[in-house]
Homo-oligomer: A and B are copies of this chain.
C-alpha cells in the first residue's frame, strides 16, 4: 500500500513517478507514543507533521494551569505551529499525541528542497492550507454563534466517531466549555 501522504497529495495535484520516488526517499514515518510531545511551548517549530495514523492535538496551558485543546489532527491532517515555523519565534503551543500515532515529520530544510525539486507541491500545500483556513473560519463562526450545548450537539452530529476517540474533557475545552458542563449537557441536566 502506498504512503498515505502520497495518496493525499494525489487528490490535489498530479505527481510524476520520479516525483514519487523523490518523496518516498525523503519521507519517513515516525511513531509517537500516546502523551508524547512533538513540540513544547517556548520551542521554535521547524517541522510540519502529517498524521498517518492516530490522533494529535495542539494545546496550551492557561493562566490557571489548566490545559486547553485548540486543535485536533487525525489521519490525513497536517499539524504544526505555522507562526513559529514561518517567523522563527518560540511557540505558544504544545503538540502532543493523544493516541499511539504514526506521523510523517518534514523538517523545514527537507521541505524547502522538496519544494524546489517538485515545484508543484507548492500548489498542494497552498490548497490544503486554504481549505484548513476555511474550516477554521467556520469554527470561529460556531464558537461565536452557538451556545455550549449547541456546539456539543453540532460536533456530535458531524463527527460522532471522533467523539468516541478523545477524552471528553479535551473535547470540552476544544469546544470552549468546562468538562463539568459537558457532563451536565450529556446527562440532560442543563
Contact = CB atoms under 8 A, between A and B. Distances in A.
Interface stretch (A29-37, A77-85, A154-162, A182-190): A77-85
A129 B82 CA distance: 10
A140 to B, nearest CB: 6
11 contacts: A58-B137, A68-B145, A82-B131, A82-B137, A83-B137, A87-B131, A122-B122, A122-B123, A126-B129, A133-B136, A136-B140
Contact of A122 (B68, B126, B173): B126
Interface residues of A, number: 42
The 6 closest A-B pairs by CB, nearest first: A83-B134, A82-B134, A122-B122, A126-B126, A129-B129, A122-B123
Given A70-B137, A140-B140, A145-B68, A86 B123 contact: no
